[in-house]
Structure 1
């Protein structure tokens, strides 16, 4: 809270035609902060486009935010806006009356036009309240106040002339006041010694204000000239309008740059906080830059000015990304050039940033075929756009290993360089990079070669009806490949493939057939070739069957001949991976037999169709019939309801035994026992004493079985019934 001071521009306001109050010193309007969520909101100075309209109640002198029931009120040492129905504050303006004295007048007597100066005070307290400048304002939608810089300076000129005249009268008034206070100080010396010194102070103040009045008069004239000059110059230069804009979609990563020094102090009514800001990020490319910064207080107006040693000052219009973040994206820069970027706020805060754009590689970079021989390779290029200190030229072999590197100074015409002592038939890759200061462009690559060479690493992947051919590209330049497949001197297929291809498949071929393959490498009218005998894979036999025909020790094998060429068949008989017998048969044969085998054993039969060095296999399994148990007998010594069977194990292989008990045709028992068992007791079945039963013991091997039967009888009962 401070005392009213009619000469302070910090306490001077303009009442605009659209119901707003414009603060002379800051160029902002009276608004409301949204930073508080309590019963009241602080009054703040805010951009006029966001400021509300105010309604003045003539009878009471109240100031109300238009159509809101929110009233301007003094809260302790601050001015706030509060929704209240009683104890409202009346507001008045301080004017110069006809006698040249300061007087209070109602704000509602008349609506001041744009340019009218108003010093606002409350009727209940002569102290002016502090209004903090902040960016946290409540947005409103009334029409904007269009104040360009020229209009503002012109209005300020008229204001300063009026202020100069007012201060002249104020100086005279203060002189009289000083005399009055001097006599009063003499009269009240014992009780108000302080008033004596106050009188002396006021005399000095009066003299100072007199001088200030003259100075302000001169300043008014100067500002009038400045307004006219600025209006003329701004029509010629592209000076940026100080405004805020919407945010862009670019993502930014924060920098650790400390904020630029700027001391913010408490000011009088609606004095704006200085625009402290810090750089968030700066990025450059070859032809553009992107810079972002952030403020710490109210929204500010900024300019970004940039220049280089080859260009004059240029302006970039900043955009407002959010309430506190601004950015600018100059897009008319020169590659490889150092620029000075100055960020300047409306209140004079500024920072300078030095950035260098990336250099650009040459627009044309090529092999000079007229100067290229079997052991030399010449490259040439046009100058890069922008600034370049020198060019770095590197030569790589086909494995991308750098074998030579040179630096060539910048030239205004075509530049060239010839690499010497190269190997015949090699291909090379050449890279060029433009260097400017500490910056390097991205490299540009071209390929060159001396003579063509044949393909390498020729590989064949045979299939029954096709051949997949693969190869590695030989050294040297290749325009295309020609692949020729021949059969006994006759061309079967002839095709050309692209130089980037390293494989090709021939289709619709004969299985197991021998062909002659030739791959021709062609480049610049020259050619070189490599040939190789290749064979398709034979097909496997069909309908392979392995049967035992009910035999215990032999297996029969049958098959059908496949299409295509077959030199021979290789047939093997194996058990659990171990080959027991093998034989080779000529193509007309389509069946064979294996004898002296083990009963019940599972065998694997494999037939390979052989054509040259290639073969195709097919396998099938077959099992011999298992043997029966031997010496199957039953016996019963004392049991009346059970008996036992014994047997001798069979020869060969089997998995287990199955025991089946019959009472005539009725099955009383069907169970399996392990192959290690040699007897089985038929008890627990409640058999009938003295009855004969039939027992079957089955040997099971896979899905094959062989059985043996015998009879058994339970014992007779010795009990005799009484009559």
Structure 2
């Protein structure tokens, strides 16, 4: 404790070299003729000095943690005043702190605050103010909504978070086969002031769009709110988004009970949705998902028209559907028979087992080698009557299963129409140097055989016959 004593002829005095923030007692004694009269006493505090070295040690979306050096002299406590400097965000906070470290809570996110701190003594006397400004962190975006992306364009939007943002930093990173955890768009080095990373963009909009991307690819999309002229970043929101995959070039190779499908595709893909249905009924028979560039549909019926669809899948996005129809290979009827009648033939046949109960088509062809005549009838029935044929003619019948442009091997049968018989008399003269040769039975039989062999190639395929007629 120090004491100052001095004599003054005036009715006032300037006291200097005092300690800031200190309580002083003053006694004024009148002196007359070297005699001290009744003294007058009072006390006062000097004003505290300004604090020093204000530091913001931690920043959140709703608080600022402050630290500073004590002022020179003395002080009992500190008053901390915060006032919003960001337009449209009116906010004021006042707190009392007993030490030189203090946290201010319930602030608005992303807002710039003017911070004023004064040292206090005697709970009422505030010292020289010290002022600085700082931002709270901007609030995190709650979610990102991918839009209708195309094969080359990524679009997304988000809802504005609470508080103030000077902009938004977004970054796209091709994910490959990894899940999206981050986009490596911040470089904070342990501090709140983050530098803007490369390959990212800043926008003041609540949406983004980038073109020139690879089709069928998963991207990590990260969006970070910014404040303080885009120099202070909030927490990053990460989501995965996809470009729409390309359609495939589809090829089909049928067998009687299966269809092998294979395809090619440009650029990237995740998987394929494949399905098959009967074209006539439109009922889906099989549906599956595969990551291969091929698929075999088994357990099908022969000679049936099937429609195969392949859709490229990439996350929640799907390409346009590629559709190709094809018939399975037909197999020939199990059996067939033909029965001739008057100028017509009735043909009956049994469907192939491989076709099951499917509705299939047939071609029924008749051939006459004698008349050099043939004709084909198409039908989906299992029996047919062929009218207007030549009487007494042998016809070859060929029944095939028809499937588009494909035909099975034939099931064959023969039948002869009923003849209208006519008699033609041939008279032959026999002469021989051998006595009684022409009268022998063996001579007649031998002649009849030779005549039959001679005639057969000409009349093959129609009804005819030769026999001797004895004429007396």
TM-score normalised by the shorter chain: which range applies?
0.3 to 0.5
Structure with the larger RCO, 1 or 2 (CA within 8 Å, 6+ apart): 2
Q: TM-score, normalised by structure 1?
A: 0.33
Going by fraction, where is helix more abundant, 1 or 2?
Answer: 1
Q: TM-score, normalised by structure 2?
A: 0.47
